[in-house]
Structure formats: structure tokens, C-alpha cells
Amino acid sequence: MPHFFTLRSATGSCGRVVLSALAVLLAAVGCRTSEEKSAAAAPKTIGVTLLTVQHQFYQDLRAGLEAEAEKHGYKLLVSTAEFDAARQANQIDEFIVQRVSALVVCPCDSRSVGASIAAANDANIPVVTADIASMSPLGKVACHVASDNVAGGREAARLLAAAVGGKGKVAILNHPEVASVMDRVRGFKEEIARSPGIQVVAELSSDGKRDKAARVMEDLLLSHPDLVGVFGINDDSALGALATIEAAGKIGKVRIVGYDATPEARARINAGAIYGDVIQNPREIGRLTIGAIRDLFEGRTPAPVIPVAVGAYTGEGG
């Protein structure tokens, strides 16, 4: 009897241990299930690092991103690098630490951004570039959404050729660190070569900034007093050049073509101070960027490149 009682006691103790272990296991499974349900219910987060928010183009691009993200219940975390590639790399690192669901990058430097994209790849975070492409061999971009900038550059050349009557010396205000601008300039040069009477005598960087474009334009007017035209790779470059040309009393003598067709540039075109602009649609770029990310979230593969058509503006109705 004593041996039987001891055995029963031991068996009962083991049973209690097993039941306790099962209870702990079921509780853990329940917690995991709750956490998984909570994660599934949480909105997808998209980290966005913009080149700048000082330009109207990027303000409109952001608006396009936000409107489409809201439509699908995605949460945007928006930062701006303000032309600083190191700052942008830090922003991407922070998004990786935050475990965002996807990244939108408008690179400050198309060549150096690859390391950051590769880091996001390693963290299994998909990357979509908007407006500006990566040119680095490092890292994989799931999709690139941008204006057809080669076509835009050709359109800018046609506008400037018309503005100067197909002859004379012209200059380019460039921003060579950025892939989209490289495409614009390439398209411009290809098309302007079809006008043998036009000579590109200078190609200087304004970094896409209005104040620097104004200073560079001063140098151009001094070194090329017979200059008849200038292509600004964005509207801040064109408007900066305009400020210098106005101050020099050369409105109408040095014709300007810009790129973006922002409201301020359109107003100056309507007033006759700028000849014309290439039209971009940054809100559409933003909309299509979120659309590409939605495809990725839902297991579809977006096109590697999604081009957005450009147009030309030469005044009211133009």
C-alpha cells in the first residue's frame, strides 16, 4: 500500500507538471497569435526620404504620395535629406531600425546611394526610387518611377532652339550627381545637335538651387557676353538664372528654358520673362510610386521602370 500511494503521488505530481507545461505552452501560442493578429492589423508603414522639400516639385510629389497612401491605409514616415547624401544614408538606416514595410528613396547622389539600398535589401525591406534613379551597382531597386527625362531633355532643346531662332551660343545649368538630370542633359544634347547653328559653350552645375544658379549665371554672362540662351535643369535653376539676367538688363536677349512648370515658373512664362518649360507631373509620380509598393505588398511584381509622360508649356494654353 505505501508503495502504491507513493507511486500515485508521483504520477499525480507529474501530471500536474505536464498540465502546467501545457498551460504555459498554450498561453505562449495564444500570445504569439495575438501578436501576429495585431501585426497584421497594424497599417503598413512606408519610409520616405526626399531630395528636398524646398522645391515645389517635391512638395507636389509628397502630396501625391500622401494622397495615395491614405487611400490604401498606409502610414507614411517622411523625411527630407536637403541634398545631403550622408544625411539621407542616416535616414535610411533609421527606417531600417524601425522595420518599415517599404522604402521610397529620391537619391541625393545616384552613385553613392547603393550601399543604403543594399542594407535595406539585407533587412528584406523593398525599395522603390521616385524621380531620381540609383546608378550604383550595389543594392536592388524593386521599381523606379519617374518622368521620361530623356524625352524631357529633347523637349527642352526644341523649346530653346525655337527661342533663339536656331542659332547662337547657349549654356546648361546642370546637376550631374542626379540620374534624372543626367538623362535630361543627355536628351537635350542629342536634340540640340540637330540645330547646327547652336553651340553649347558651357555646362556648369547649379546643384538645382536658385541662389547658386544666380551666381553661376553671373559668371556665364561675364565669360560669354554673347550668350543667347540657357537651359535650367529645374525651375529653381531657371528662376535663379532669370534673376541675374533681369539684373543685367538682358531679358529677351538671353532666352531661358526651365524644367518642371511650377506655378511660379508658369507665371514668369506668361509674363514673357522665361520662354518655356518642360512639364512634369510629380503628383502622378507619387501616385504611381505608392501603386508599385501596393503591388509588392500584395505579391505582385511591378514593372522595373514606370515612365511618366512630360509635356511643354510656353504660356497660357501652351
Asked if residue 8 has pLDDT above 80, the reply is no
In this structure, are strands 168-174 and 143-147 parallel, antiparallel, or unpaired?
unpaired
- Whether 240 is in a domain gets the answer yes
Long-range CB contacts (< 8 A, 24+ apart) of 34-37? none
| pLDDT tens per residue, range 197-215 | 999 999 999 999 999 999 9
Burial class (CB in 10 A: 0-12, 13-18, 19+), 264: middle
Structural domain span for residue 274: 149-279
Which residue, 218, 207, 209, 206, is CA-closest to 244? 218
The CATH number for 93's domain is 3.40.50.2300
Within the chain, strands assigned E span 45-50, 75-80, 102-105, 127-130, 143-147, 168-174, 198-205, 227-232, 255-260, 276-279, 305-308, 311-313
Same domain, 260 and 156: yes
Tell me the residue type at 6: T
- Whether 318 is in a domain gets the answer no
Burial class (CB in 10 A: 0-12, 13-18, 19+), 304: exposed
> How distant, in Å, are the alpha carbons of 25, 111, 132, 201, 230 from that of 127?
38, 16, 13, 39, 35
More confident residue, 10 or 167: 167
The whole-angstrom separation of Cα 261 and Cα 281 is 9
| pLDDT tens per residue, range 255-296 | 999 999 999 999 999 999 999 999 999 999 999 999 999 999
The residues facing 168 across adjacent strands are 198
Tell me the residue type at 232: G
| pLDDT tens per residue, range 49-102 | 999 999 999 999 999 999 999 999 999 999 999 999 999 999 999 999 999 999
Same domain, 245 and 174: yes
Same domain, 163 and 118: no
pLDDT of residue 243: 98
Same domain, 158 and 207: yes
* Total structural domains within the chain: 2
Same domain, 274 and 288: no
The whole-angstrom separation of Cα 9 and Cα 7 is 5
Confidence of residue 32 (pLDDT cuts 50, 70, 90): low
Per the CB < 8 A criterion, the answer to whether 243 and 173 are in contact is: no
The whole-angstrom separation of Cα 44 and Cα 82 is 26
Per the CB < 8 A criterion, the answer to whether 130 and 289 are in contact is: yes
- Whether 19 is in a domain gets the answer no
- Whether 314 is in a domain gets the answer no
| pLDDT tens per residue, range 147-192 | 999 999 999 999 999 999 999 999 999 999 999 999 999 999 999 9
> How distant, in Å, are the alpha carbons of 7, 59, 230, 237 from that of 285?
76, 12, 27, 21
pLDDT of residue 38: 45
Same domain, 289 and 228: no
Same domain, 111 and 162: no
pLDDT of residue 318: 54
Task: Say whether 295 sits in a helix, a strand or coil.
Answer: helix
Same domain, 301 and 261: no
The whole-angstrom separation of Cα 215 and Cα 74 is 42
Same domain, 290 and 173: no
- Whether 232 is in a domain gets the answer yes
Same domain, 140 and 286: yes
Which three three-digit cell numbers place residue 142?
524593386
Taking each helix axis from N to C end, the angle separating 235-247 and 210-223, rounded to the nearest 10 degrees, works out to 50
Rounded percentage of the chain residues whose pLDDT exceeds 90: 86
Same domain, 99 and 132: yes
pLDDT of residue 316: 76
Write the CB contacts of 302 (distance below 8 Å, at least 6 apart in sequence): 128, 142, 143, 291, 292, 295, 296
- Whether 89 is in a domain gets the answer yes
Supply the mean pLDDT for the chain: 90
- Whether 75 is in a domain gets the answer yes
Same domain, 286 and 265: no
- Whether 197 is in a domain gets the answer yes
